[in-house]
Amino acid sequence: MAFTLQLGETAPDFNLPGVDGGNHTLADYQDARLLIIAFSCNHCPFVVGSEARMKQLAADYAAKGVRMVAINANETDNHPADSLEHMIARAKELQFNFDYLRDDDQSVALAYGGLRTPHFYVFDADRKLRYTGRMDDNPRTPGAETTHELRDALDDLLADREVATPLTNPIGCNVKWKDQDGHWMPADACDLV
């Protein structure tokens, strides 16, 4: 069995605290036509380079029934900047227009098989996985991207088409797992494609 959630599988439920002070579950997004779950964090340069694009994507697709939720599961002993307190400050500073949740025990990251930050999952109205991987081919450098796989997947699904490229390798830092080296990945977390 692969580490990462496979295409067609159902979104695992969660109950996580958010930067807004409330707890959030999968059911909170039941009205979304499409739901993007993004594993993210505060410090990774690939995330930092993607945050403006994430905000723009959330704004561009909100009226089409698309919601995005970012989840930070990085361990905080060696990465204290990823604590909920720091997440609250970052979300406020950058005025995130999507929910930003803290997965402190990393159970949600394990359930989804989050590999990198950022790592995106797109679920349809039945919460079946239809796309997973990267946003584009250059998350670290805004304006240097030449592909737009996440937007392409959303456009395909909103037009009731099959996703042309449903699977890509996420580009970014490894999720920082508790009690593991910072570059550690599970043995069954080889490249997606």
> For every one of its 193 residues, what pLDDT tens digit does the chain have, with 9 covering 90 and above?
468 899 999 999 999 999 999 999 999 999 999 999 999 999 999 999 999 999 999 999 999 999 999 999 999 999 999 999 999 999 999 999 999 999 999 999 999 999 999 999 999 999 999 999 999 999 999 999 999 999 999 999 999 999 999 999 999 999 999 877 666 666 666 554 4
Measured between its terminal Cα atoms, the distance across the chain in Å is 15
- Report pTM: 0.94
Strand order in the sheet with 99-102: 99-102, 66-72, 34-40, 119-123, 129-133
Domains and CATH numbers, the chain: 15-174 (3.40.30.10)
b/e code 25-64 from CB counts within 10 Å (16+ = b): ebebbeebebbbbbbbbbbbebbbbbbebbbebbeebeee
User: How far, in Å, CA of 17 to CA of 85, rounded?
Assistant: 11
